[in-house]
């Protein structure tokens, strides 16, 4: 139970989470997990609800693999990975209870809030999915959607008025937002938070998205190796355990940051 | 190019901090085989060009001295494959800057089980010997090209093999803990830009003993350990 850098099989690397780093977004977060650096920005825009869900808003994910991350992302190299990550997140958030989409609705069938979640990979140091999911949760926690009022004119046409006060906003409830835990199989054991070298040694990995209460929202197997069904059960149990403690730690950090309020010193990108 | 400046009359030399390895004759390097070609292997050593290890510069198993024949050429892949790690010495430098390596001694050859740490070549101090057996229980090879190899000290010196048969027995947990701790110490020294040589690594190891292995990589703990190491090194000099 000892990895190359002294961690146990279920230990994460030293992580830094900072929210509200980008000023022109509704919410943003930056996560540094070892050598992996992720920046997530959430923009809330007005849009029309989807036809099959007329009284709900929705989330749109876009992942941009910056060419600075690794040399493989030069030009269009990172598009495949970006599309894969975005699709994974659509699956993870496909569960109804993750985000309260009904609160994003303004006028059924006409107006709703669409949250565009943009993920930027600044540096690739292993374990991308976990870091991105932590950053997405932190950014959603930090998102401030302005309050709108619907005014009905004399002719019956609806007008949307944004409240003037910039601090008058609604916050999202991120208690049910899941976090992804990646378990990589190396030899006969599985490890959490693999570095680049460990990922090169592992033949197969299991991506589990766990909510803070321990419920699984999605499961995905990546890699060209095969996984024994019994080991999948073991990995799921480990993932649930690790996921719950990850949520607790993340919530603590976010609450601490929140309590500091405006007096918090922002480190940003120059620290 | 950023680094330390040395001036000799009107000549200004800058020793860069972060650079590719520029080989000198007689340096020890640790490299990874990238290609197996006709009569040679191409070795990646963190330099501008891949280094070359000629078949004639390689020891035959058993220590024979004979001209390399066609069968030896065909059996090259049995000795070293792509992805293997070797330790070698620089024999000469080609005109384009590529290094020619040789493993003409029994202490060089294929490396078995251990941990590789990649650092900047400018942080490895030039010493008389780069093969160190640390008293804490592990051995370390400080390659001049910035590749540092940490491995468990072999109990008996198997001279006949000449480094061809890798020892694949499981390494005991105590040895693995020592190696992990050394690896984290080296990473800590590198982040704080301290020169790497056997004494600095040993002092850092001793300073890190009160902490858990995985805590060494935390920024506060790293700074404390390296500060103590720096202090002891200054005391040693002064």
Which long-range contacts (C-beta less than 8 Å, at least 24 apart) are formed by B155-160?
A: B159/B106, B160/B62, B160/B63
For residue A12, give the DSSP letter: P
Query: Which chain B residues contact residue A7 at CB under 8 A?
Result: 214
| Residue numbers of A between 1 and 40 with CB closer than 8 Å to B | 2-8, 11, 13-14
**Strand, coil or helix: what is B171?**
coil
pLDDT in the model for residue B147? 93
* Sequence spans of domains, chain B: 3-171
Contact A14 B184 (CB under 8 A): no
Q: In terms of DSSP H, where are the helices of chain B? A: 70-74, 76-79, 173-191, 198-208, 219-237
This complex has an ipTM of 0.81
- Give me the average pLDDT of each 10-residue run along chain A (271 residues): 85 88 88 90 89 86 87 82 91 83 82 90 89 92 84 72 74 87 89 89 90 88 87 90 91 86 66 52
CB atoms within 10 A of CB A200: 10
Closest-CA distance, A12 to chain B, in angstroms, reads: 10
Q: What is the mean pLDDT of residues B118-136?
A: 89
Q: What is the mean pLDDT of residues B187-212?
A: 90
The answer to whether residues A20 and A119 touch, using CB atoms and an 8 Å cutoff, is no
Query: Which chain B residues contact residue A8 at CB under 8 A?
Result: 214
Query: Which chain A residues contact residue B118 at CB under 8 A?
Result: none
The CATH number corresponding to A15-260 among 3.30.230.70, 3.40.50.170, 3.20.20.300, 3.30.470.10 equals 3.30.230.70
pLDDT in the model for residue B1? 78
Closest-CA distance, A35 to chain B, in angstroms, reads: 12
Query: Which chain B residues contact residue A3 at CB under 8 A?
Result: 180
pLDDT in the model for residue A263? 67
Query: Which chain B residues contact residue A2 at CB under 8 A?
Result: 173, 176-177, 180, 213
Tell me the pLDDT tens digit for each residue of B18-76: 889 988 899 999 999 999 988 889 999 989 999 999 988 887 776 677 777 787 777 88
Q: What angle do CA A195, A127, A79 make, to 5 degrees?
A: 120
pLDDT in the model for residue B160? 46
Give the integer Cα–Cα distance in Å for A163 and A171.
Answer: 15
* Sequence spans of domains, chain A: 15-260
Q: Work out whether strand B3-8 and strand A216-223 pair parallel, antiparallel, or are unpaired.
A: unpaired
What beta strand segments (E) does chain A contain? 15-19, 27-33, 36-47, 58-65, 105-107, 111-123, 144-146, 148-152, 158-162, 169-171, 179-186, 189-192, 204-210, 216-223
Q: Which of A4, A195, A198 to mutate to test the interface with B (most CBs of B within 10 A)?
A: A4
CATH class of B3-171: mainly beta
First to last CA, chain B: 32
**Strand, coil or helix: what is A184?**
strand
pLDDT in the model for residue B80? 85
Nearest-CB residue to A5 (from B173, B214, B219): B214
The answer to whether residues A92 and A130 touch, using CB atoms and an 8 Å cutoff, is no
Nearest-CB residue to B213 (from A6, A13, A14): A6
Contact B180 A4 (CB under 8 A): yes
Please count the residues of chain B. 238
Nearest-CB residue to B177 (from A2, A7, A11): A2
- pLDDT: is B114 or A263 the higher one? B114
Q: In terms of DSSP H, where are the helices of chain A? A: 79-92, 128-142, 196-201, 229-260
Q: HSE of A219 in the Cβ direction (CA atoms, 13 Å)?
A: 9
Closest-CA distance, B117 to chain A, in angstroms, reads: 10
Q: How far is CA B60 from the centre of its chain?
A: 22
Q: HSE of B27 in the Cβ direction (CA atoms, 13 Å)?
A: 24
Q: What is the mean pLDDT of residues B158-175?
A: 68
Closest-CA distance, B70 to chain A, in angstroms, reads: 35
Q: Which of B219, B194, B187 is nearest to B122 (CA)?
A: B194
Residue A12 has φ and ψ, to the nearest 5°, of -90, 160
pLDDT in the model for residue B186? 92
């Amino acid at each position: 139970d000892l990895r190359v850098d002294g961690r146990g099989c279920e230990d994460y690397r030293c992580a830094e989470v900072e929210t509200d780093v980008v000023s022109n977004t509704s919410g943003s977060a930056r996560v540094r997990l070892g050598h992996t650096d992720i920046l997530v920005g959430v923009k809330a825009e007005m849009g029309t609800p989807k036809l099959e869900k007329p009284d709900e808003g929705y989330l749109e994910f876009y992942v941009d693999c910056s060419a600075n991350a690794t040399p493989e992302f030069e030009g269009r190299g990172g598009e495949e990975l970006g599309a894969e990550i975005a699709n994974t997140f659509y699956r993870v958030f496909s569960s109804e209870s993750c985000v309260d989409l009904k609160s994003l609705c303004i006028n059924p069938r006409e107006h709703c809030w669409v949250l565009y979640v943009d993920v930027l990979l600044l540096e690739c140091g292993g374990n991308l999915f976990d870091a991105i999911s932590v950053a997405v949760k932190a950014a959603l926690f930090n998102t401030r959607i302005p309050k709108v009022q619907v005014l009905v004119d004399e002719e019956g046409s609806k007008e949307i008025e944004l409240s003037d006060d910039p601090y008058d906003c609604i916050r999202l409830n991120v208690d049910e937002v899941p976090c992804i835990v990646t378990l990589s199989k190396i030899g006969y054991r599985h490890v959490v938070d693999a570095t680049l070298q460990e990922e090169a040694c592992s033949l197969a990995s299991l991506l589990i998205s766990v909510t803070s209460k321990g419920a699984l929202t999605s499961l995905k197997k990546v890699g060209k190796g095969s996984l024994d069904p019994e080991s999948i059960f073991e990995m799921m149990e480990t993932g649930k355990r690790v996921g719950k403690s990850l949520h607790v730690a993340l919530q603590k950090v976010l609450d601490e940051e929140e309590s500091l309020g405006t007096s918090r010193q922002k480190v940003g990108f120059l620290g | 190019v950023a680094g330390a400046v040395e001036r000799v009359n009107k000549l200004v030399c800058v020793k860069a901090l972060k650079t590719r390895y520029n080989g000198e004759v007689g340096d020890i390097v640790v490299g990874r085989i990238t290609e197996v070609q006709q009569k040679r292997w191409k070795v990646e050593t963190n330099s501008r060009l891949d280094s070359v290890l000629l078949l004639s510069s390689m020891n035959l198993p058993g220590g024979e001295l004979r001209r390399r024949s066609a069968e030896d050429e065909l059996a090259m892949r049995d000795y070293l494959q792509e992805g293997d790690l070797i330790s070698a010495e620089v024999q000469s430098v080609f005109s384009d800057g590529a290094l020619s390596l040789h493993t003409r001694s029994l202490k060089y050859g294929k490396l078995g089980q251990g941990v590789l740490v990649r650092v900047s070549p400018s942080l490895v101090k030039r010493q008389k010997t780069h093969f160190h057996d640390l008293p804490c229980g592990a051995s370390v090879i400080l390659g001049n090209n910035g590749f540092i190899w940490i491995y468990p000290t072999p109990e008996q010196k198997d001279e006949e093999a000449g480094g061809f048969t890798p020892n694949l027995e499981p390494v005991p947990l105590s040895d693995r803990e020592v190696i992990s701790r050394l690896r984290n110490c080296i990473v800590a020294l590198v982040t704080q830009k301290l020169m790497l040589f056997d004494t600095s690594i040993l002092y850092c190891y001793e300073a890190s003993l009160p902490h858990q292995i995985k805590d060494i990589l935390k920024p506060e703990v790293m700074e404390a350990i390296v500060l103590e190491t720096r202090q002891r090194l200054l005391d040693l000099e002064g």
